[in-house]
Structure 1
Amino acid sequence: MFSVAFAHKTRSPNLYEVYPWSTWQMAALMNNFVGDGNGYIGNPALKPEKANTLSATLDWHAADRQAWQLSVTPYYTRVDDYIDAQQWDATANAPRTTLLKNQFTVLRYVNQTARLQGVDVAGQMALAKNDWGAWSLAGKASYTQGKNLTTGDHLYQIMPLHARLALTQALGPWRNAVEWVAVAGKRDVNAMRNEIETPGYALVNLRASYTHKSLRVDFGVENLFDRYYVLPQGGAYVGQGTTMTTGGASSPKWGTGVPGPGRALYAGVTYKF
Structure 2
Amino acid sequence: MNNFVGDGNGYVGNLDLKPEVAHTLSLAADWHDARQKVWGVRIAPYYTHVRDYIDARCSSASCPDGQFNVLKYVNQSARLVGVDLSGHLLAASTPAYGDFTVSGIVNVTRGENRDTGDNLYNIMPLNAKLALTQKRGRLTNTVEAQFVAAKHTVSDVRNEVETSGYSLFNLRSSYAWKQVRLDVGIDNLFDRGYALPLGGAYVGQGMTMSINGIPWGIAVPGPGRSVYAGVNYQF
Q: TM-score, normalised by structure 1?
A: 0.84
Number of residue-to-residue matches in the alignment: 234
2:74 is aligned, of 110, 120, 131, to: 110
Say yes or no: does 1:206 pair with 2:206. Answer: no
- Give the Cα separation in 2 of the matches to 1:50 and 1:239: 34
| Structure 1 runs, 4 residues or longer, greater than 4 Å off | none
Say yes or no: does 1:264 pair with 2:235. Answer: no
SS in structure 1 of the partner of residue 125 of structure 2: coil
Displacement after TM superposition at 1:263 (Å) = 0.1
C-alpha deviations, 1:218-272, integer Å up to 9, x for none?
000000000000000000000122212133xxx2100000000000000001123
Long gaps (5+) in structure 1: 1-27, 90-95
Say yes or no: does 1:162 pair with 2:127. Answer: yes
1:137 is aligned, of 102, 106, 119, to: 102
C-alpha deviations, 1:183-229, integer Å up to 9, x for none?
00001000000000000000000000011332211000000000000
What's the counterpart of residue 121 of structure 1? 85
RMSD over equivalenced CA pairs, Å: 0.9
Say yes or no: does 1:70 pair with 2:41. Answer: yes
- Give the Cα separation in 2 of the matches to 1:135 and 1:44: 56
SS in structure 1 of the partner of residue 27 of structure 2: strand
C-alpha deviations, 1:130-175, integer Å up to 9, x for none?
1111100111110000000100000000000000111000112210
Residues 10 and 211, structure 2, Cα contact 8 Å, conserved in 1: no
Alignment of 1:18-33 (within 5 A): 28=1, 31-33=2-4
Alignment of 1:84-103 (within 5 A): 84-89=55-60, 96=61, 98-103=62-67
C-alpha deviations, 1:61-116, integer Å up to 9, x for none?
11111111111011111111111000112xxxxxx3x3311100100000111010
C-alpha deviations, 1:38-80, integer Å up to 9, x for none?
1011001111111110011011111111111111011111111
What's the counterpart of residue 7 of structure 1? none
Residue type of the alignment partner of 1:226: D
Alignment of 1:241-260 (within 5 A): 241-247=206-212, 251-260=213-222
Identity of aligned residues (%): 55
Q: TM-score, normalised by structure 2?
A: 0.97
Residue type of the alignment partner of 1:193: R
What's the counterpart of residue 197 of structure 1? 162
Residue type of the alignment partner of 2:222: G
Say yes or no: does 1:56 pair with 2:20. Answer: no
